[in-house]
Amino acid sequence: MASARRTAVVGLAALLVAGMAFSALLSGSAAQAQQDRMSISDRITAAMDGNRRMITGGVFSTIQTGMDGTDWIVYGPWRLTVKSMEGGTPDVAFMSVLTMVQKDGTAKHRHTISDFQVSEWESGESTLTFDGTATISTRDGPQEDVPVTITIHNSEVIEFAIDTDALDHFGENPLYGIVARVMTPRMFR
């Protein structure tokens, strides 16, 4: 009995250590996390002021109801890079590979989002919003110039809204995900 209890404690400890290591990989080192309490808006401003690039990324994980009422799980990685500031508008690259699958595990397929072009942006106290257009792959081929809005809330949550008048495949609600990492700005090259 004592041996089984010891094995269970060692196993639990190993899981906790692995979880802490995984968490550290996602959020950077503990020291950096303590020092870097800047919002994404502040990071972007500092990066652009210092002629540096800022990269952030994470994962979408959301349930969408299609226009036909079918529920879909939508998930996949995303990455946003602010490269520079030209004429008051940041040069932003956004990329995501989304997988959609029905809740019963059928009809699995993928979409990519790329070629994001910023038309307007706004930086608030707790939100950062980019309006623009993107190319979204579909079964019928790439749909170009689809109006989208990317909003990051409190440096923690990403909201990706697609204009349903241009593309209604994803349903009426925005896609939601987490901001898992904000990388240290680097000098432009």
Question: Tens digit of pLDDT for each residue in 121-150?
Answer: 888 888 889 999 999 998 889 999 999 999
Q: Is 25 exposed, middle or buried (0-12, 13-18, 19+ CB in 10 A)?
A: exposed
Three-class secondary structure of residue 97 per DSSP: strand
Distances in whole angstroms, Cα of residue 165 to Cα of each of 58, 82, 98, 99, 171: 27, 28, 20, 22, 11
Q: Identify the residue whose tokens are 């009422």.
A: 69
- pLDDT for position 89: 74
The residue length of the chain stands at 189
- pLDDT for position 49: 65
- pLDDT for position 142: 93
- pLDDT for position 34: 35
- pLDDT for position 80: 93
Distances in whole angstroms, Cα of residue 50 to Cα of each of 10, 35, 83, 183: 48, 18, 11, 15
Q: Which of 107, 97, 168 is nearest to 137 (CA)?
A: 97
Name the stretches of the chain with pLDDT < 50: 5-35, 187-189
CB atoms within 10 A of CB 46: 13
- pLDDT for position 157: 94
- pLDDT for position 17: 37
Give the span between the Cα atoms of 166 and 80, in whole angstroms: 22
Residues 6+ apart with CB under 8 A from 58: 77, 78, 158, 177, 178, 179, 180, 181
| Strands 127-138 vs 109-123: parallel, antiparallel or unpaired | antiparallel
- pLDDT for position 67: 79
